[in-house]
Amino acid sequence: MQAIGGAGQSSGFGAGERGNLAIAGAAGAGGLAPAGFDVWSALVAKLRSWVHAEAGPGRLLPWVPVVFGSGIALYFAADHEPVLPVAVAVAIVLCVGALLARRRKLFALVVMLAAVAASFATAT
């Protein structure tokens, strides 16, 4: 019996025997890339550094109008007219949450969510 590796090499299994064929450099169970393929960790590290640079002091303010516009786009994409009191209540809660989260890591995320909710309520 010839192995996958080439002529003259046997697989080590006799006639009728079965076994698992381990391929060198293959990913383990659930892996996304071959073993030793270090591109994912390098890519994640690079994206993380870009996010930290973009989220520096004063760098996220230009994104607020973009997010505000996306809230208006969500309003127009809705299947039916949203309930105004619910939209306003969610916007108020998120705005208060943004005020309370000023010194926390999630501040930028809460501000962006508050902007989406505020624009959605404004369009309603």
| Alpha helix positions (H), 1-124 | 39-54, 63-77, 84-100, 107-123
pLDDT tens readout for residues 23-68: 555 555 555 555 666 667 888 888 888 877 776 777 778 889 999 9
- Measure the CA–CA gap between 116 and 123, rounded to whole angstroms: 11
Spans of all domains in the chain: 2-123
- Measure the CA–CA gap between 93 and 70, rounded to whole angstroms: 19
Report pTM: 0.57
Average pLDDT of the chain is 79
